[in-house]
Amino acid sequence: QVQLVESGGGVDQPGRSLRLSCAASGFTFSSYAMHWVRQAPGKGLEWVALISYNGDNKHYADSVKGRFTISRDNSKTTLYLQMNSLRAEDTAVYYCARVLRYFDFWSGLDNWGQGALVTVSS
């Protein structure tokens, strides 16, 4: 079955960097676009970024553009989110999620990880 397992969360200070990983298994990782979505404590969902199945296309929310970088290693079936210049408002649970249709980008997110908590505080 499809499994997505995030790691790399933790506590960091404003201005520092953190990298999240999302290990995928149970499906052909290289055929699916992947997203990161975050949720601040007690708040709603916020889309963060998308990467196409082959890594050629990447899109970001305005709130993270220029600070966060999404990437993937299809040989390791792993998705990444490099987060630089962290701010207090980046504090959230970060979910990786798979797109429903292979080779599509936007059809809906049908499998989600358990989430990784990132806390940015001095």
Partner 1 sequence: QSALTQPASVSGSPGQSITISCTGTSSDVGGYNYVSWYQQHPDKAPKLIIYEVSNRPSGVSNRFSGSKSGNTASLTISGLQAEDEADYYCSSYTSTSTVIFGGGTKLTVL
Task: Report if residue 107 touches partner 1, rule: CB under 8 A.
Answer: yes
List the structure tokens of 26: 């149970």
Task: Report if residue 114 touches partner 1, rule: CB under 8 A.
Answer: yes
Closer Cβ to partner 1, 103 or 106, answer by number: 106
Most distant CA pair in the chain: distance in Å?
Answer: 41
Q: How far is CA 62 from the centre of its chain?
A: 15
List strand residue ranges (DSSP E) for the chain, in order. 3-7, 10-12, 18-25, 34-39, 45-51, 58-60, 68-73, 78-83, 92-99, 109-112, 116-120
Task: Report if residue 100 touches partner 1, rule: CB under 8 A.
Answer: yes
Stretch that binds partner 1, among 8-16, 21-29, 83-91, 105-113 (CB under 8 A): 105-113
Task: Report if residue 112 touches partner 1, rule: CB under 8 A.
Answer: yes
Binding site for partner 1 (CB under 8 A): 35, 37, 44-47, 50, 59-62, 95, 100, 106-110, 112-115
